[in-house]
Structure 1
Amino acid sequence: MGARDDIQQLGKRIGEAIIGQEGMIERLLLGLLSNGHLLVEGLPGLAKTRAIKSMAKNLDAELSRIQFTPDLLPADITGSEIYFSEGGKGAFQFQEGPIFANLILADEVNRAPAKVQSALLEAMEERQVTIGGKSHVLPDLFLVMATQNPIEQEGTYPLPEAQLDRFLMHIQVDYPDAASEADIMRLVRSEETNAKSNNHATEKLAQDAVFAARKEISAITVSEAIENYIVALVMATRYPDKVDKDLAKWLQVGVSPRGVIGLDKVSRAHAWLNGRDFVTPDDVQATVHNVFRHRLVLSYEAHAGGTTANQVIDRIVELVAVA
């Protein structure tokens, strides 16, 4: 079985536990393949936590769940140096925090103040944690999936743009359809019935399969025309007045260079996952919303008029020609 078959099998297993959220599952796999972090936004009960738990169950990876609250401290995430005494001698030793797992669920990340949110910055970008002047390297397989609730604003702290930019993709999760809701009821009912009899160990996908997939994705062909198309989409967010007068009114700040890199990575992963060894405009358009959505700063006029980031990206895709 090849790397693509392994990853598709992983997605199938996750899909057996998550019904009606195929888009979120695909984005979760794309984040894993692209070695990037995910910000997942959706109403309560839409299987955000269940999705990352299901991935950890079927992948040979350690999962840490961090519940972000206003009283959380940075050391609760990163770990700290603790004084140990033995045989009349004492020394400080570093005690690893939950950030040192492979898969990190940062649940309701916007409920903690900026000081705590910033504890994730170095870990997400540099893949290391520095405590007491010494750097501690994080695992090779490392993915942060942060969740936030879009309807509750009381007691929350909006994520700063610098932290948002460190997320590869911003995934918006919506309600499942009516048929899926019925299937969800049956699935939970079945799990409750079979809870005691389902004690056999699940065969887990080895981390090497993920690394092999990433190696294949790095060899995916991106033509000069596709590169120019990605750059053109980004430039349309930075200089909207050259593209459309409405865009110029809606956009205040465009996509950063991380957006260019991210769209290239995710487009290649999307092409690979769909069995191609080259990127097409469809791959770019299928992933551009997730990569751009959280990197755009909309103007006051856009907010006042009810214009969303998705609508702005739709307009950009409509206007920017494929090279």
Structure 2
Amino acid sequence: MKTTKLPNVQDVTRKKKNTSREAIIDFYNEATEDYSFWSRDLNMHFGYFIFGKTNPLKRDSMGNEMNNQIYNRLNLSKTTKNIADLGCGMGGTMRYMLKKQNNLSMIGVTLSPFQVEEGNKLLKDKKGLILQENYCNTSLTSSSMEGAIAIEGFCHSGHSEEALREAYRILKPGTNLVIADAFLKKDPKNLCLGSSYSYRKLCKGWSLDGLGVIDEVENSLKKVGFKKVKVEDISFRVAPSVLHVPFAIGGFILKNILLKNPLKPQSWNNMKASFYALISGLHMKDFGYYIITAIK
């Protein structure tokens, strides 16, 4: 049987400490299958809309364009080899990028054993590998990666300085970290009543530590050593994808009713959190969706 072998795997991994987050593991073990309804390509994130290029009626059209936007901001050379996906889910973005550039090798990390097992099946015979690890403390050796991405993953740690510091550690000097995620525009204590309620429900449903405040995250990136930190507000680009939420929820519920499949508790939580993500997005003074590019 043919097996996938990543170039230099032994050179880019080190002995790791065993850290875990039970709530996040439970969430992704139970809810990952739900995302196949959201995206056939298993893009476990919102999409990026460009008029005349992406189809606003098709989630994967926008989801893959988000992958493309992240890929472009990595600013890879033709000789680039090793890229890390920190919070890689089922490896949807990894598969997109590996197809985009044939010489790439990618290592993804996730806490979910389900995502590791099923995601690696989808990466069979490709130069990609998913490890069950905490992105705040990976087994990747220092200065071994030629790029790193985090798409809607760092929110599980509240966009913590610990996560940013680990990303900085594994990157080679002169290479890019690209983050795409939702952020707060102000301290949670200063949110209006509606925003505060939606925010609490969002964090509970998706097992988030919380969203980082965009200005604070920018400062944290500079504090850990990143240079030329660029922050782009792409809320309006993401909005058409977010508007799919109520239709996706309704369709998912109807599908399970017709198939007489009982909905798992985490599926309900996932759907409720998705709904509150939509509500939060309407409070544009308090929430925004950003792409951050930072150079080590």
Q: TM over 0.5, yes or no?
A: no
Q: Please say which structure displays the higher CA radius of gyration.
A: 1
Normalized against structure 1, the TM-score is what? 0.28
Normalized against structure 2, the TM-score is what? 0.30
